[in-house]
């Protein structure tokens, strides 16, 4: 038995030395433990090019091993160079090798925008190509390599909000995005959420969470009734100033039904003018055209409602935050700064920074547009504490705002809707009418729940 054990050890050692002769390992030994990712879990990567091969060492001159990797193949990462340009990987079949970071996704999370105050997920959508009024081309081809048209990974023929995981310069000199239809991918199903490379010029960047839709409650109050959407900003200005209706691409209909997933993402905002992605459901696809519209009609009547895209998990976390705020602020006015600081950490897991405004904190954690949060929240904890003790009107406004938004969000969580009014006797917001059923949430192709939350529901 002892002899057999010694033979087994020798076999293992000889195997390690054989591999070490082909693959350069740190300290000439096979690593025992994989790297850990940002979630504290085993680090996995996935291949994002079609011609990837292992190398024996982490350098440009390293010899290429006789093992080809498949597009979207998932591997486990065990080591990386200090500059993070090369990773030592192991396949599911036990093969080892080094690969350059250009050929893999090293994070399961998509990229974020460069806005330091509000770094939201970097999202794009692909507009339809309307060559004339009778022809619609909306099939988009994804590539296995940036710039190589002969390597196709699939196509998309409907409007979707997509997420950017990697950027690269293609063989044709153009910029490309590697995209997926979910902000994360899982190591055992990367092919279900990751799509491939697409020409940057064919995408529209959506760097906020904001969208609009027609305000049906003001339809009869508007002078020109239906909201028109024009191809260019100049066309919209000619309409607003002179009533011209040239290059109209869409117009509101009185009996439009609002599906829970359909809103018009805002690409650019210039005062009252908005550049949007107008979306229309067709029989087997969705039409997406880029156009311009105005927030108000010529008499200043609001004609668009604003929404913020938010995941169900974030809604639940926000309700938890508001519930704790609602319970604690009622009993401890003297130490409201410490109360809010404790609520922030306990309800979201993210501490609020010193001298950070509460509105900026909510923007950072939940990706809200901060300029649409309540004025009473645009203070540091020290300022809020001081105002609570010295300004009765501020204190009342702060508490009523927290209670109102908590009440409204609770209805969202229950898939209901109603207007609420303040009751001085009970010090609570109560429904004006019996709440109606409303389908707030929609599910994307990866099973994640999202909601278009109206701006008036934001804290």
> What is the chain's mean pLDDT, rounded?
83
Q: For 90-101, what is each residue's pLDDT tens digit?
A: 999 999 999 999
Domain range holding 234?
210-302
190 by DSSP, 3-state: which? helix
- Shared domain for 292 and 167, answered yes or no, is no
In a domain, 53, yes or no: yes
CA angle in degrees (0–180, nearest 5) for 116-119-122: 135
Distances, alpha carbon 382 to alpha carbons 330, 391, 393, 396, in Å: 18, 14, 17, 17
CA–CA distance, 274 with 265 (Å, rounded to integer): 10
Q: What is the pLDDT of residue 125?
A: 83
CA–CA distance, 175 with 236 (Å, rounded to integer): 31
Specify the pTM. 0.79
What CATH number did the domain enclosing 88 receive? Answer: 2.30.30.40
- Shared domain for 196 and 220, answered yes or no, is no
- Shared domain for 193 and 222, answered yes or no, is no
In a domain, 117, yes or no: no
Cβ-contact 223, 298 below 8 angstroms: yes
- Shared domain for 237 and 152, answered yes or no, is no
Q: For 260-276, what is each residue's pLDDT tens digit?
A: 778 899 998 888 999 99
- Domain termination site, one of 164, 190, 206: 206
In a domain, 114, yes or no: no
- Shared domain for 353 and 440, answered yes or no, is yes
CA–CA distance, 197 with 148 (Å, rounded to integer): 10
- Residues 261/263/265/269 CA torsion (nearest 10 deg): -150
* pLDDT average, residue stretch 34-41: 85
Cβ-contact 264, 279 below 8 angstroms: yes
Q: For 287-315, what is each residue's pLDDT tens digit?
A: 788 999 999 888 888 999 999 988 888 88
- Shared domain for 86 and 188, answered yes or no, is no
Q: What is the pLDDT of residue 64?
A: 85
- Shared domain for 378 and 443, answered yes or no, is yes
- Residues 373/321/107/147 CA torsion (nearest 10 deg): -30
Query: Which range, 114-123, 156-165, 426-435, is most confident?
Result: 426-435
In a domain, 97, yes or no: yes
CA–CA distance, 49 with 386 (Å, rounded to integer): 57
- Domain termination site, one of 158, 181, 206: 206
- The two tokens of residue 125 are 């959508």
* pLDDT average, residue stretch 233-249: 90
- Shared domain for 246 and 315, answered yes or no, is no
What's the domain count of the chain?
4
How is 394-437 classified by DSSP, letter by letter? HHHHHHHHHHHHHHHHHHHHTTEE--EEEETTTTEEEESSPPEE
In a domain, 297, yes or no: yes
18 has pLDDT over 70 = no
- Domain termination site, one of 258, 276, 302: 302
- Shared domain for 258 and 319, answered yes or no, is no
């Amino acid at each position: 038995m002892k002899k057999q054990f010694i033979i087994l050890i020798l076999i293992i050692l000889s195997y390690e030395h054989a591999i070490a002769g082909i693959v350069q390992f740190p300290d000439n030994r096979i690593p025992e433990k994989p790297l850990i990712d940002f979630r504290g879990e085993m680090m996995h990567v996935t291949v994002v090019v079609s011609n990837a091969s292992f190398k024996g060492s982490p350098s440009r001159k390293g010899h290429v091993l006789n093992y080809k990797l498949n597009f979207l193949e998932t591997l486990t990462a065990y080591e990386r160079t200090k500059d993070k340009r090369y990773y030592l990987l192991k396949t599911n079949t036990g093969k080892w090798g080094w690969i350059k970071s250009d050929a893999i996704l090293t994070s399961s999370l998509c990229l974020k925008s460069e806005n330091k105050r509000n770094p939201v997920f970097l999202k794009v959508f692909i507009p339809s190509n309307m060559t004339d009024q009778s022809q619609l081309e909306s099939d988009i081809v994804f590539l296995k390599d940036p710039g190589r048209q002969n390597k196709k990974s699939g196509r998309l023929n409907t409007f979707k909000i997509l997420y950017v995981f990697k950027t690269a310069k293609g063989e044709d000199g153009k910029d490309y995005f590697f995209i997926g239809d979910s902000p994360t991918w899982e190591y055992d199903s990367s092919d279900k959420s990751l799509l491939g490379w697409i020409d940057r010029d064919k995408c529209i960047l959506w760097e906020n969470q904001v969208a609009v839709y027609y305000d049906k409650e003001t339809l009869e109050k508007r002078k020109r009734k239906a909201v028109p959407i024009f191809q260019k900003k100049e066309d919209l200005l000619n309409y607003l100033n002179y009533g011209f209706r040239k290059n109209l691409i869409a117009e509101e209909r009185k009996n439009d039904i609002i599906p829970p997933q359909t809103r018009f993402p805002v690409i650019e905002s210039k005062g009252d003018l908005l550049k949007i992605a107008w979306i229309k459901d067709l029989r087997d696809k969705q039409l997406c055209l880029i156009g311009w519209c105005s927030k108000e009609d010529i008499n200043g009547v609001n004609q668009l409602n604003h929404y913020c895209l938010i995941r169900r998990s974030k809604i639940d976390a926000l309700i938890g935050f508001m519930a704790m705020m609602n319970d604690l602020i009622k009993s401890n006015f003297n130490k409201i700064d410490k109360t809010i600081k404790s609520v922030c950490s306990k309800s979201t897991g993210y501490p609020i920074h010193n001298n950070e405004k509460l509105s900026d904190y909510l923007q950072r954690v939940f990706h809200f547009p901060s300029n649409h949060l309540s004025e009473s929240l645009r203070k540091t904890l020290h300022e809020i504490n001081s105002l609570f003790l010295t300004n009765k009107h501020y204190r009342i406004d702060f508490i009523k705002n927290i209670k109102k938004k908590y009440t409204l969000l609770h209805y969202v969580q229950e898939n209901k809707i109603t207007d609420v009014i303040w009751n001085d006797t009970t010090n609570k917001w109560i429904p004006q009418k019996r709440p109606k059923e409303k389908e707030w949430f929609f599910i994307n192709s990866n099973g994640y729940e999202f909601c278009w939350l109206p701006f008036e529901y934001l804290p």
